[in-house]
Amino acid sequence: MALEYRALAFILLAVCIMFADNRFDYLDKVRYGLGFATTPVYWVADIPTRVSFWIDDVFVSRTDLLEENAQLREELLLAQRELQLMESLARENSRLLQLQEASAVINGEVLPAEIINVSPDPFSKRVLVNKGAREGVFVGQPLLDANGLMGQVDEVLPFTSWVLLITDSHHVTPVEVNRNGERALARGSRTTAAELELEFVTQTQDMKAGDLLVSSGMGQVYPKNYPVAEIISVFADPGQSFSTVRARPLAQLDSTRHVMLVFEDKDSEAQSAVEEAISLSAEDMPPATAPQAEAADSNSVPQVEDQ
């Protein structure tokens, strides 16, 4: 008899914990504490990858290294040349924006990180990165790879953090078409395909396959103008009110290991003044659109207090 009661008691406890964890944030401390206990598992699970990287590093011939070095030099030169051009353009752009009293483009600092695990549930697109609260990672922090936007931090553990990818069906990215500035909301595909679906695109909006989508900066989670995806198909059914637009993310969501966490650098005075003005005017108005990236509202201002 005692066994039944014990089982029942633990089931009730589990239900309470689930309810508390789902609805309130009492249990964040518990999760954080348990995160310490589970860190060794991730560390051990990652050993094979590290060993293979180490072997690649050690057993590489001198000629290969020289070749690679020459190639990297060449690439660096090209990149620096482009950077010079970009810098003058950026300066010109910010001058023009200042003329219009708009907020400047955000120049953030980045923290390099590595993806060390992926979510075992095929329907939830989340990855685990090897930077956590110790390095000042915060919930809502954007994650990029070399090609584009990957997602935002969803849960911070002591040494690691979970990142919700932009292709998760619970995630919505505010984007705009780079060519003409048409805005849209890109939701992760509801299938297992790593794609985005643009929501509420009217049939008169100017979008076509091949268009580049960049982050629009709305919702205040992602910085503006990072490349997000490329439209692969636009289908306008005359019987439907919205067209079906599918896009493929530019970031290498399932093959890359090296990623960057962005710390927004918001110390420029002009910018904070503009932001203040925006927040003042925002108080008068109701929020513009209902579906924004989840968990965005409470985290619009990055908090790095934990360290």
Partner 1 sequence: MQRKTHATWVIALSLFIGFLLAIVPFPDWAMNYRPEWIPMVLIYWAMALPYRIGIGWAFVVGLLLDILEGSILGVNALALVIIAYITLSLHQRLRMFSTVQQAGLVFALVGLNLMVCHWLLIITDQTVPSNLMFLMAALTSALIWPSLFQLLRHSRRSFDVR
Residues near partner 1 (CB under 8 A) are 3-4, 6-7, 10-11, 13-18, 21-22, 27, 30-31, 34-35, 37-38, 41-42, 44-45, 117-124, 126, 128, 155, 157, 162, 169-170, 190, 192, 254
Show the CA angle centred on residue 280, arms to residues 284 and 24, nearest 5°. Answer: 80
Which CB atom, from 27 or from 270, has the smaller least distance to partner 1? 27
Give CA–CA dist 229/248, Å, rounded.
Answer: 5
Show the CA angle centred on residue 111, arms to residues 217 and 169, nearest 5°. Answer: 50
- CB of 169: closest distance to partner 1 in angstroms? 6
| Full DSSP string of 203-214 | TTS---TTPEEE
- CB of 16: closest distance to partner 1 in angstroms? 8
- CB of 165: closest distance to partner 1 in angstroms? 12
First vs last C-alpha separation in the chain: 49
In 3D, which of 194, 257, 255 has the Cα closest to residue 230? 194
Which CB atom, from 159 or from 263, has the smaller least distance to partner 1? 159
Which CB atom, from 188 or from 217, has the smaller least distance to partner 1? 188
Question: C-alpha distances in angstroms, 200 versus 3, 20, 109, 178, 195?
Answer: 54, 34, 34, 18, 16
Which CB atom, from 20 or from 79, has the smaller least distance to partner 1? 20
- CB of 57: closest distance to partner 1 in angstroms? 22
Which CB atom, from 31 or from 208, has the smaller least distance to partner 1? 31
168 touches 188 (CB < 8 A): yes
- CB of 34: closest distance to partner 1 in angstroms? 5
